[in-house]
Amino acid sequence: MNEKEKMVVVDGEGNEHLVEILFSSFNEERNAHYVFFFIPDNPDEIMVMRYDEKTNDLFEIEDDIEFAECEELLNALEDSKIQEAKKENN
């Protein structure tokens, strides 16, 4: 069995949530690292946060354009996986 990467995320109310990491990405233009993850009880709700590699701190993305760029990356990945699945089924 393949072990999923996990991390703990603390919400605005101080509650800790064990989440599964979907993937991480680096944006050269912004010089920023991102981690895409979900709570195992709700795998359809994928979240993304910026993180600092040196301190492992997570930061909410507050800039609408930056968030839209992350959504585009996620959508492109999902589209790619759908196309892969279609090729495998043909």
C-alpha separations of 10 from 7, 14, 58, 79, 85 in Å: 10, 6, 9, 30, 35
- Under a CB-based contact definition with an 8 Å cutoff, are residues 33 and 25 in contact? yes
How high is the pLDDT of residue 1?
Answer: 36
pTM for the whole thing?
A: 0.83
Residues of the chain with pLDDT under 70: 1-3, 82, 84-90
Q: Which two tokens stand for residue 50?
A: 């910026």
- Under a CB-based contact definition with an 8 Å cutoff, are residues 54 and 34 in contact? no
How high is the pLDDT of residue 90?
Answer: 59
